[in-house]
Structures are given as structure tokens and as C-alpha cells.
Chain A
Amino acid sequence: MYELIANSIPIAIVASIPLLLAVEGELLVQRGGIINLGIEGMMLTAAMTAAFAAQTTGSVTIGFLGGIAGAMVITAIFGVFAIALRADQIVTGTAINLLALGGTSFVYREVAAFQRPIPQLHTDIVSALSWIVAPLILGAILWNTSFGLRLRACGENPEALAATGRSVRMHRWAALMIEALLVGIGGAYLSLALSSGFAENMTAGRGFIALSIVIFGRWKIKGALLGTAIFGLAAALQYALQAANRGIPFHILLAVPYVVTLLILCGVAGRVRSPESLGRP
């Protein structure tokens, strides 16, 4: 068992990269008072546009740029409804997820480029980015810049920020676009590095798990890293158990990540305080 865990750690670090980037992005926007339930659809769209860009140009770099662009487009749709039109964020997020799910499965069948070979990623730069660089930068932005202070004010007491003459909407838009950048990289990593191309509904609930981990981590960067590490290790153990074939039914193992997330939510949610104005349009 000890050996099983030790072998799972490297897998956990790599396999949870898309999740971690989503957690980091969602943490930032929730600090600004927005629940982006559409993050699942954002990542799915990014996975598709990244695969498309990489498969048509043969370049991994352009693939990642394509993923970021895709995530930004769908995030802009979310922002128009949730920020500009002040629509309910849960309803908007659900609509965005349906839009991405239906849209990607439609486009996937229409475009021949998805049948082409996918260029390989030969670098660990994304692991370093998501586990070290992005947390440091996000922590610095949130806690050491006046933008971060004002963004947190958007999440706690937007009226107070508005009273100083600053635009709550602009701060939330900025946070959303940073989230789109992170989720775009995460989605691209999912289809370019963790799988060989796009598959329908390939995000499999990662966005919702990310939202749960943000709560588990109490809207703090360290908590987010810890939560993702625990979850990633559990998921990697599940892969290892699948491979070891110890007689546990395959489908029961597939359910493990979701049950773990449910337990994570129950374990801590009772004792946490969310940003005061989270989810209020």
C-alpha cells in the first residue's frame, strides 16, 4: 500500500493540473464575488479549441493559445450575462455549461481536423506554472496589490468599492479574464497532454470539483493547493487500483472522485465563511 501511494504522487501532480488551474481561477473570481458555475463549460471549450488549433497547425504552443482564446470567448459570454446584465449566476453558469456541452459535441462531428494526429508536449513547464508560479502570482495579486484589495472588496462589500468611485464591474471582468487564461491553459493541457485530443464531455465534472475545492480551501491559495493535492492523490490512487486490478469493480472506482469531493464538502463546509457578497449580482 505504501508503495502504491508513493508511485501515485507523480501521477497525482500531473493529472491534477487542469483541476488545479481551475481551482486557482475560480478562487480569484469568487474572491471578487462571482460564482462561475460555467467553469466546466469553459474548460470543455478550451479543450476543444486547443485540440483544434494544435491539430490544424501542428504546434503545441498555438494549441495552448487556442485553448486560452476559446476559454476567453465563452467567459466573455458568461460575463455579459452575469456581470453586464446582472443575471443570476447559477442559472447563467448552467446555461453556459449546456451551451459548451451541446456546442462542442456538434462541432466535433462537423470538423475533420479532429481526426489528425496531435502534436506531443515535451516539457514540464505547465506543472511548474500551475503548482508554483501561478499560486505565487495569484497570492501576490490578491494580498499585496491594491487591485487585489479592491477585488476582495467586490466580494465582501461591493457598495463600499462603488462609493470610492471605482467600477465593481471592471474588477470582476478582470478577474474573469484571469480565470479564463488559467482555465484555458488547463483545458489545453487536458486535451493535449493528458489525452490524445478532444473527446465529448472529457472534462467529466472537473469544473464542479474545482468549485468544491475552493470551498474546502476556504478561499485561500494554500487551502486550494492542499485540497487539490488531497483530491489528486485520491484520484491517482484510484487509477493505480484500477491498474492493479484488486477486484474492486471498475465503475465503483470511477465514482470515487465524486464521493471524495462530497465528503470534502461535508468535512469543512460547515465551518467556513464565504465572501459576503458571493453570488449577488
Chain B
Amino acid sequence: MRRFAVAVIAAAAAIVLLAFSGALFGHSPWSLLSIVASGSVGSRFALASTLLKSVPLLLTGLSVAIAFRAGVWNIGGEGQFIVGGLAALVASRFGIVASLAAAMLAGAAWASIASAMRLWRNAPEVLTTILLNFTAIHLLGWSVNGPLREHAGQYPQTDLAHVALPEIGGVHFGIVIALAASVFAWWLLYRTAAGLRLRATGLNPNAARWAGIRVGAQLARAMAISGAAAGLAGGIELLGVTHRLFERFAAGYGYSGIAVALLAQLHPLATIASSLFFGALVTGAGELQRAAGISAGVATFGQAVVILTLIVFEHVRADR
């Protein structure tokens, strides 16, 4: 209950600081808040777009939660999301299932580059995953300008994917997959021996080693599962929302996953609620950009405020 209260306070702090920063630059804080509220939950259409944004955030949030629980610093969700989208597009001719499977495999493989570098060369994954993000962004840029460019050749974007996820009331089927993934992640982490080993490694790798757990294998496994979740997010975003790739396809979903997971205190089921909050924030910020000309970057700012507020309360708790 206390942890829930802390999460609510952190979320509220983000909203308040957002309105305050707007006021600093001469906007009325109340009108900003009302734009965010009506743009994210104020109508059926707004609610549907909030849900649509929450789906990739839920999956990248799960990706981060699994990795951080295992003590692996996967900051590479953005790159894994992109290669997931690329693989899903290429495999889309073989159907939805094959396309999403390819997205997960690609995400896992991309993340595993970082774990291989860590295990063989001791290169810190916190840096290699970030560097792989930049590499993936330019790989995507090359793809949509080169080999995967649309046949019309007019814009730097790909042709439409061969398949699309079915829709129910304005929201694509990916929401069901994402919800199932969070239940699966909870079951994996808290109800299986494999999950216990992952968490034990995250809590104390030395103790885990003494208990006979192969820490290197746990690291590789956590990274692969984490990458698969972020890759799946990219695949679902492609088949459910964008239907094609372009340079700004990832739109920060990978990095946002860090804030989503931390607000949920790395719990897979709490990640559902957390992704809904950030989905609303991102949607509301988009509306701010359209209606008031304010940069949608305020959503990123809000994510940072959430993380920093959580740290303050962690500290208060640790001191007692």
C-alpha cells in the first residue's frame, strides 16, 4: 500500500512540475492541465489513443523490469524496438504469427550482442546497449532510404506491411498480447525456478554464485527475454499502428520503458497501470503540441521527474 502511495505521489509530482514549467514560460497551468486531461482521457477517441500508446510502453516497461530485476542494465530498448519492427516488416509476408515471432527473435538477438560483449570482453552493457540504440537508429535510416524504401520511391519510408493486427473498437489486438505478456512475465519471475534464479542474481550476484547459480547464463537469459519483449513491442507497433517503417519509428518508446518499469517498482503486473499513466502522459503531451504549440518533449521531462521523485522516496524509506 505504501509503495502504491509513493507511485501515485511520483506521478502527481510529474504533472505538477509539468504545469509549473509551463507557467514559467507564460502558459496558464490550468489550461495546460485541461488540454492534457481532455487529450488523453476526455473522449472515446482520446481514450483509444491513450490505450494505443500504452501497448508499446507496457512491453518496453516489461523489458526493463525483467532486465533490472536480474541486475542487467538494458538501456537498449529503443534499438531492440527498432530491429523488432524491421524484422516484423520483412517477415510480414508469412503472416502475423511469423512476423511477431521474427520481431521477438530480432530483439533478443540485438540485445544478446550486448550480453555477448559483456560475457566475453567484459564490456559494460549499460554502454553497449546505448551504443546499439544509435546503431539501430542509423540501420533503420539506411533501410528506409535504401533496400526497404517504398516502391513509389517518393518518401523515405517502407511499403505497407503485408498483414495488420485485427482491431476491436479502435484498439488493435496487440493490447491483448501485451496484457498476456505481463501476466506471463509475472508468472515467470515469481512462480518459476528460472525466475527465482534471475531475481537472486539481481539481488546479489555473489550470493547467487555461491548458491550454484550460473550468473553469466542468467545475465544472457535476462537480456534475451528483455530484448524479445522490446522487439515484440516494435513488431506490434508496426502491425497495429504505423503499418510501415520510417526514420522516427521508435519515437522514444524504448527509453520511456525505463520510467514505466521504475514507476511500477519493477513489478510486471503494476507495469500495466504504470504504462496506462505514461500512455496518457504521452498522448496528452502530443495534444499539447497540437493545441498549444508546446514541445511533446514535456512527456520525456515528466518521465525524468517521476524517476527522480521515486528516488527521493526510496531514500526516505531506506533511512528509516
Real complex partners, A and B?
yes
Contact of B304 with A249 in the complex, beta carbons under 8 Å:
no
Contact of A258 with B258 in the complex, beta carbons under 8 Å:
no
For residue B141, which residue of chain A has the nearest CB? A251
- Which A residues between 224 and 281 are near B, CB-CB below 8 angstroms? 249-252, 254-255, 258-259, 261-262, 265-267, 269-270, 272
Contact of A102 with B294 in the complex, beta carbons under 8 Å:
no
* Contact indicator per residue, chain A 77-92, by CB within 8 Å of chain B (1) or not (0): 1000100011110111
For residue A269, which residue of chain B has the nearest CB? B123
- Contacts A101-B297, A102-B302, A254-B141: A87 and B311 contacting too (C-beta < 8 A)? yes
Contact of B301 with A102 in the complex, beta carbons under 8 Å:
yes
- Complex contacts, A109 vs chain B, CB 8 Å: 293-295
Query: What's the minimum C-beta distance from A109 to chain B, rounded to whole angstroms?
Result: 5
Taking the complex as formed, is B8 at the interface, i.e. its CB lies under 8 A from any CB of chain A?
Answer: no
Taking the complex as formed, is A96 at the interface, i.e. its CB lies under 8 A from any CB of chain B?
Answer: yes
Could you tell me the dominant secondary structure of chain B's interface residues? helix
- Complex contacts, B314 vs chain A, CB 8 Å: 87
Contact of B134 with A205 in the complex, beta carbons under 8 Å:
yes
Contact of B311 with A94 in the complex, beta carbons under 8 Å:
no
Query: What's the minimum C-beta distance from A16 to chain B, rounded to whole angstroms?
Result: 17
Contact of A252 with B142 in the complex, beta carbons under 8 Å:
yes
- Which A residues between 50 and 106 are near B, CB-CB below 8 angstroms? 77, 81, 85-88, 90-92, 94-99, 101-106
Contact of A106 with B134 in the complex, beta carbons under 8 Å:
no
CB within 8 A of A96: which of B142, B302, B304?
B304
How far, in whole Å, are A77 and B312 apart by their CA atoms in the complex? 12
**How large, as a class, is the contact surface on chain B?**
35 or more
Query: What's the minimum C-beta distance from A96 to chain B, rounded to whole angstroms?
Result: 7
- Complex contacts, A85 vs chain B, CB 8 Å: 311-312, 315
Taking the complex as formed, is A108 at the interface, i.e. its CB lies under 8 A from any CB of chain B?
Answer: yes
How far, in whole Å, are A272 and B295 apart by their CA atoms in the complex? 43
How far, in whole Å, are A249 and B259 apart by their CA atoms in the complex? 35
- Complex contacts, A102 vs chain B, CB 8 Å: 297-304
Given contacts A85-B312, A215-B127, 6 further A-B contacts (CB under 8 A): A87-B315, A98-B303, A102-B303, A110-B25, A215-B124, A251-B145
